[in-house]
Structure 1
Amino acid sequence: MTDAPTALTIVDAVIIPMADGSDWFRGWMTVGADGRITGLGEGEPPRGGGSTGSGGSGAAGRVLDVHGAFVAPGFVSAHSHLFTSGMRGMTPGEPLYGWVGEQSTFISAADADDVYWFTLHGCLDFLGNGVTSAYNFTDSRVVGKYDAVTDTREIFAIRPEEYLLRQIDAARDAGLRTMNAIRLDSEFQPAEEAFEVFARAVDHVKQTVPAPLDLGASVFGAVQWSATSQLAHDEVRAMDAHGIGNQAHFLETSEALDQQREKFRWYEEAGAIRPGFLFGHFVHPDAEMSRIAAEKGAGMVWQPTSNGRLGSGVADIPRYRELGLPIGVGLDDQSCTDVSDPFQNVRIGVYTQRAVHQDAGILSPREMLRMHTLGSAEALGVDERIGSLEVGKFADFLVVDPTAPDTGPVWDVHAHYAFAMSLRNLKQVYVGGQLVSQNGRSVHPLAAEASRELHARVRAVAARAASRSTSRLAW
């Protein structure tokens, strides 16, 4: 329990803590002035708002009466690309490499100011939809295009460091708790220079992002697109130098599968596969790769909506759970989920697993909700701060009303929350006990400006990229 005075008391709530060993209950929760949970329990709050051990009744600080609505932890997206908020609907019928090629062509014409506003809009979109923490792959400074058939990359230019740093600034300015993933571009510039740029970006996070919003830095694993195994060794060097983890896009698609599987060995031989290393997607490993990943303590992050949108396949989540892999869940790009909807992500995840395995009991609603909250926090190594509603953790929570619109009687709380709730029922989003979105509208002072900037800048960037792109804006 923290010593901060109570600033907010939530009452008459159906609280879904998502903490292991605890079930839902109807009661109260208190938040301290430091933005952390100070107490929660059944029934009426104790007088003065203290812990469950306090006597009496009453509420301290500002009172939020939710009139029987669900109060649950904010969703954690353990795999996100937040600069893509202006690219929804792009290449609607392409698989991974065709889609990413068009996206790369478009973003190649963006500058540091453009990517700031793109990222800010993406972060506010996440917050408005109930995602309060995210692992964000910053867009690389390298401007280029990867060809999966030939396993080569065409490089157009390398942008200034400001392009990278402004993405970090945008997540900070949005108020989204973020783990910033930074790509080590040692293939495209002198290695020592690449390490210096990487170190300056990590330091920028530490120096400019307030500690409560900073979930740390990470290596943006890029061996999947590398021409040699040296990059795997370089990434391990960066991990060791900064004491950070790594998340690598890997085995997402069945395209060029033998080539991807060979590059798994590069990571293994370099010593990268260990606790703190995550495989993003991990849809198509063979049995040996899954076993190695589990034995060495690595984890994976699952993107159900994205994998369906791009036709990438369905990850074998029951197998990974049997092996003991930590499993996080992400919303990936706005450009391959289109709507950054964690409720939809939960449903698609459960339903696709049940359909593929022809087993309605293969994955329960509570298990899926855990993976998209506490499980994602565990995979990222930040579960002591976020992911569940527990005393001492940040008060990042959602108010979700099953009566507006009415969804009928509640037979099972976790099933109703996972299956019957949607963005239309999401009434309020709080980060650290502070309201950030109400009825689907951001209360951030830059929200309207971010929308205007996004629309104007996407048009301008698209015009600059038109000579290399086949996509066209409709309006």
Structure 2
Amino acid sequence: MPAPSPALTIVNAVIITMADGAEWFRGWMTVGDDGRITGLGAGEPPEPPQAETSDAVEGDTAAAAGTSAAPTGEVLDANGAFVAPGFISAHSHIFTSGMRGMTPGDNLYGWVGEQSTFISGAGEDDIYWFTLHGCLDFIGNGITSAYNFTDSRIVGRYDAATDRREIFDVRSERYLQRQVDAARHSGLRVLTSIRLDSEFQPPEQAFEVFADAVAYVEQNVPTELNLGTSVFGAVQWSESEQAARDEVRAMDAHGIGNQAHFLETSEALDQQREKFRWYEEAGALRDGFLFGHFVHPDTSMAEKAASSGSGMVWQPTSNGRLGSGVADIVRYRDLGMPIGVGLDDQSCTDISDPFQNMRIGMYTQRAVHQNASVLMPRDMLRMHTLGSAEALGVADRVGSLEVGKFADFVVVNPSSPDTGPVWDVYASYAFACGLRNLEKVYIGGVLVSQNGVSVHPHATSASAHLHDRVRAAAARTGLSLAW
């Protein structure tokens, strides 16, 4: 039996696989009907195999053997453009797509307080459209997989001065489910993060609610889009050590990881650092536990986290926008910590731009260490693709262009607009290219965005819903927009 013809063949591409031990090359890649990569290599793709025929008469065999069947699938001529893995945002709050530019001069606690006030005015349908718009925005910017912190059913506001969370309301189960629905409908691959809402009474109810949410994801998200579930670590916002123990119980019960917002801001720093002990004594530090941000640990905390197998996820644009500080990525790398990279909120990166995120990350590390070679373009690109996949435990499916993995890739043209001659492929890609050069985005070998325009059938209505629903939610909470 001959091998099946590919559903998609990419030719004439500069392929940046990001696979360890492999360098870029000029060549081709093929994708099967299941959306996975079936082959790639330098030069021209091999001729498709000839179909066997059982009724060829003697004398026709030689002629038949020299005939190649034409490819039956789509052929994409990249015309010399870069073809690279889709970006992975290993830390995202996608429902915030309508909050860009909010509180432009606030640090973390002031910013998140205003955000909490706004979102308290949103309902089940609102959060669906907010999330769908955010997912399509991610995809249009070349992000093909994301770790997504869903907005909690508990409506509250944290006060750093008292280290307490004031609870306003409890939303319905559908509020969380609609966020899962929106991500599914967008086509983005998502690892869904769910907060263990310990405010539920009696306390056992929190675990039942969490289990129901995990089951909803497993039952309703197609396998190819479902990268799993995770605990939304919230000890930074908690007032009791029991919160850490509860999160570990949920991790163990479901066999899942945890990404904790931790040591993000310099505000109330001693108070935050005390809570590291809560996680340590609860047994949370292990493979699969991630510190989101991790900007301000002391030396002992960093060493304990690394030796336990825990990783961290870095948000360079967000940390700069909120004045949070600069994470010492070089130190964490030297300690052997898995490091992923995220775009965080659209409301604190404003443009969910992975190219900008890479540049801000590289440039701040170089400035802090006063060493231009301390973080190189290939290293940074790896963190935002394969490194993020490794940190999230999904590198068997996404993060690099390798046979058997999903064909999630971007086509980036350094000639449109022209960025000049290419001296170094990784440097040209990470330093000189950006969203203006992003021509196409594919998920599973299927075109999902072209020249920044989504091909999703609900993209236009998602934008209209976002504008109308953000205004309405703001009005309910007494907030006002410029327009």
Task: Give the structure-2-normalised TM-score.
Answer: 0.95
Matched, 1:114 2:126: yes
SS in 2 for 1:47: coil
SS in 2 for 1:211: coil
1:72–1:389 contact (8 Å) kept in structure 2: yes
Aligned counterparts of 1:154 and 1:105: Cα–Cα separation in 2? 12
1:181–1:219 contact (8 Å) kept in structure 2: yes
Aligned counterparts of 1:282 and 1:60: Cα–Cα separation in 2? 50
Post-superposition shift, 1:5? 4.5
Post-superposition shift, 1:303? 0.1
Alignment-mate amino acid for residue 409 of structure 1: P
Alignment-mate amino acid for residue 123 of structure 1: C
Query: Match of 2:316?
Result: 304
Query: Once the two structures are aligned, what percentage of the paired residues are identical?
Result: 76
SS in 1 for 2:340: strand
Q: Which moved more, 1:192-201 or 1:8-17?
A: 192-201
Post-superposition shift, 1:105? 0.2
2:5–2:71 contact (8 Å) kept in structure 1: no
Alignment-mate amino acid for residue 28 of structure 1: W
1:322-341 aligned within 5 A: 322-341=334-353
Query: Match of 2:400?
Result: 388
Query: Match of 1:28?
Result: 28
Q: Which residue of 288, 310, 318 maps to 2:300?
A: 288
Query: Match of 2:9?
Result: 9
1:48–1:60 contact (8 Å) kept in structure 2: no
Query: Match of 1:473?
Result: 481
Aligned counterparts of 1:233 and 1:131: Cα–Cα separation in 2? 34
Query: Match of 2:207?
Result: 195
Q: Which residue of 240, 245, 263 maps to 1:228?
A: 240
Query: Match of 1:434?
Result: 446
Q: Which residue of 336, 342, 363 maps to 2:354?
A: 342
Matched, 1:84 2:92: no
1:63-462 aligned within 5 A: 63-462=75-474
Q: What runs of 5+ residues in structure 2 fail to find an aligned partner?
A: 51-67
Deviations 1:362-414 (A, max 9, x none): 00000000000000000000000000000000000000001110110000000
Q: What runs of 5+ residues in structure 1 fail to find an aligned partner?
A: 51-55
CA RMSD of aligned residues (A): 1.4
Aligned counterparts of 1:174 and 1:442: Cα–Cα separation in 2? 10
Query: Match of 1:53?
Result: none
Structure 1 residues 351 and 49, CA, compared in 2 at 3 Å: closer, same or farther?
farther
Alignment-mate amino acid for residue 10 of structure 2: I
Alignment-mate amino acid for residue 434 of structure 1: V
Deviations 1:433-465 (A, max 9, x none): 000000000000010010010000000000001
Deviations 1:170-228 (A, max 9, x none): 10000000000000011343221111111111011111000000000000001111110
Deviations 1:315-365 (A, max 9, x none): 000000010000000000000000000000000000000011110010000
1:121–1:447 contact (8 Å) kept in structure 2: yes
Aligned counterparts of 1:386 and 1:189: Cα–Cα separation in 2? 39
Aligned counterparts of 2:243 and 2:318: Cα–Cα separation in 1? 26
SS in 1 for 2:477: helix
Post-superposition shift, 1:61? 1.6
Aligned counterparts of 1:450 and 1:49: Cα–Cα separation in 2? 44
Task: Give the structure-1-normalised TM-score.
Answer: 0.96
Post-superposition shift, 1:153? 1.1
1:11–1:65 contact (8 Å) kept in structure 2: yes
Aligned counterparts of 1:4 and 1:238: Cα–Cα separation in 2? 44
Post-superposition shift, 1:19? 0.4
Post-superposition shift, 1:57? 11
Deviations 1:49-85 (A, max 9, x none): 89xxxxx998552100010000000000000000000
Aligned counterparts of 2:203 and 2:181: Cα–Cα separation in 1? 25
Aligned counterparts of 1:223 and 1:107: Cα–Cα separation in 2? 21
Aligned counterparts of 2:161 and 2:362: Cα–Cα separation in 1? 33
1:30–1:49 contact (8 Å) kept in structure 2: no
Aligned counterparts of 1:174 and 1:135: Cα–Cα separation in 2? 14
Aligned counterparts of 1:25 and 1:395: Cα–Cα separation in 2? 17
2:264–2:324 contact (8 Å) kept in structure 1: yes
2:82–2:411 contact (8 Å) kept in structure 1: yes
1:275–1:298 contact (8 Å) kept in structure 2: yes
Aligned counterparts of 1:255 and 1:103: Cα–Cα separation in 2? 18
1:44–1:58 contact (8 Å) kept in structure 2: no
Alignment-mate amino acid for residue 27 of structure 2: G
Alignment-mate amino acid for residue 29 of structure 2: M
Alignment-mate amino acid for residue 325 of structure 2: G
Alignment-mate amino acid for residue 405 of structure 1: P
Deviations 1:98-147 (A, max 9, x none): 00000000001111110000000000000000000000000011111101
1:291–1:323 contact (8 Å) kept in structure 2: yes
Deviations 1:413-442 (A, max 9, x none): 000000000000000000000000000000
Deviations 1:141-164 (A, max 9, x none): 111110111111111011011101
1:9–1:60 contact (8 Å) kept in structure 2: no
Aligned counterparts of 2:338 and 2:175: Cα–Cα separation in 1? 32
2:27–2:44 contact (8 Å) kept in structure 1: yes
SS in 2 for 1:156: strand
Query: Match of 1:37?
Result: 37
Query: Match of 2:476?
Result: 464
